[in-house]
Structure 1
């Protein structure tokens, strides 16, 4: 919680520094999230939602500062298919395991306008974990038709993951109109998402068998300025 207040304090500090009335706005789009491979070698990217609010603070005609508060869905997924033919019937077992990591993120973006409409941006992003769940879906198919033996389970893993995440973002955007535009951004994680915890025998270890993992996210979406 202290780190969340720190991130919000950085947002407020940008207003005081610029001493210029900002333009507020809303933004939303998709996350294509993944986790670094250490211990997640078979994991693939997972698509999620990203959306929130921002304030764009012009410092000059070419430079501006844009703090944001976003809800961001991250994580990864693993999919497997096993098949066999018995007495002329084809049996398939399809399984999908998803790791859903939800964050409140506070990016602080520094924007440079190459033209009045086009800009590039870079800056840090601070993330605060709100939810961590593993979801498993297993379905059996016979000759291409799903059977009733499907299972769907969910497990809360928040205690296994660090509550704080930090990364660096690089992106670009284009104002289609003075109030509406599109934006794309890549965020590379710096911090380990796994949490140091104690086993039942009292020994301290890292989750995920001692591996270190980082969130990596590609974002794309639209925004609207008031």
Structure 2
């Protein structure tokens, strides 16, 4: 009888220690090695966008490179869970290759946005997190750039913003890896709003198109 009681006591002790240890590790998953508890952070981030426009299926043959940079905050709300709002300048769009009697090159269709993603951050390991949420964006400019095969810019045409929808919105998902106060991350954003309007040729040509983007970034929190 005594052995049974002692065995049960050891099982209870091990269970409590295991639960406490697991809880402590999970709580620390939002912390860096320099902190004693989860701490709200404000930071800067920047990187590159690989963007495209799609109608029915996202394809990569017309993908173009752009930049993204801005500010973010990471706000702990529970053990291992944070809310991360951001304000970014994000360059999106697509490109199309041409080859005719006048030469060959690419037309780059550039759409620049002020973008506001808000994601839930789930720390599934001490330095690794999953991000999921959505974004809203506000169009600042629309241009077409003619670039030849040598990288020379032959001309830039500014398009009327009124021919395009001034807002965009969509879904966001990604991963992050923390190294001290630095974060390396990758993200995919899937637009749900058609970018063009019917009142012009440029708007009609892009009426059914939506934004998509892969982003790779580095951030520094303070």
Q: Which runs of 4+ in 1 moved over 6 A?
A: none
Structure label with greater radius of gyration: 2
Residue in structure 2 matched with residue 73 of structure 1 by the alignment: 91
1:203-214 to 2 correspondences below 5 Å: 207-209=203-205, 211-214=207-210
Residue in structure 2 matched with residue 176 of structure 1 by the alignment: 179
TM-score if structure 2 supplies the norm length?
A: 0.74
Residue in structure 1 matched with residue 73 of structure 2 by the alignment: 55
Pairing partner for 2:125 from 92, 107, 115: 115
Residue-by-residue CA offset, 1:106-142 (whole Å, 9 max, x unaligned)? 0001010101110001001000000111122357xxx
CA distance in 2, matches of 1:196, 1:25: 40
CA distance in 2, matches of 1:160, 1:73: 18
Note the residue ranges of structure 2 that are not aligned, 5 or more in a row.
1-37
* Structure with higher helix content: 2
Residue-by-residue CA offset, 1:176-206 (whole Å, 9 max, x unaligned)? 22x0120100000001111243x6xxxxx99
Bigger mean CA offset, 46-55 vs 93-102: 93-102
- CA RMSD across the alignment: 2.9
Whether the 8 Å CA contact 2:50–2:66 is kept in 1: the answer is: yes
CA distance in 2, matches of 1:210, 1:157: 13
Aligned pair in 2 of structure 1 residues 155, 42: CA closer, same or farther (>3 Å)? farther
Aligned pair in 2 of structure 1 residues 206, 154: CA closer, same or farther (>3 Å)? closer
Note the residue ranges of structure 1 that are not aligned, 5 or more in a row.
1-19, 84-91, 140-145, 200-204
CA distance in 1, matches of 2:42, 2:110: 29
CA distance in 1, matches of 2:81, 2:183: 17
Residue in structure 2 matched with residue 8 of structure 1 by the alignment: none
Aligned pair in 2 of structure 1 residues 166, 52: CA closer, same or farther (>3 Å)? same
Aligned pair in 2 of structure 1 residues 123, 67: CA closer, same or farther (>3 Å)? same
Residue-by-residue CA offset, 1:34-91 (whole Å, 9 max, x unaligned)? 00047xx9961110000100110001221000000000000011112358xxxxxxxx
* Structure with higher strand content: 1
CA distance in 2, matches of 1:55, 1:98: 32
Structure 1 SS opposite 2:162? helix
Aligned length: 183
Structure 2 SS opposite 1:25? strand
Residue in structure 2 matched with residue 27 of structure 1 by the alignment: 45
TM-score if structure 1 supplies the norm length?
A: 0.72
Whether the 8 Å CA contact 1:69–1:104 is kept in 2: the answer is: yes
Pairing partner for 2:113 from 83, 103, 108: 103
The structural deviation recorded for 1:211 is 4.0
Structure 2 SS opposite 1:114? strand
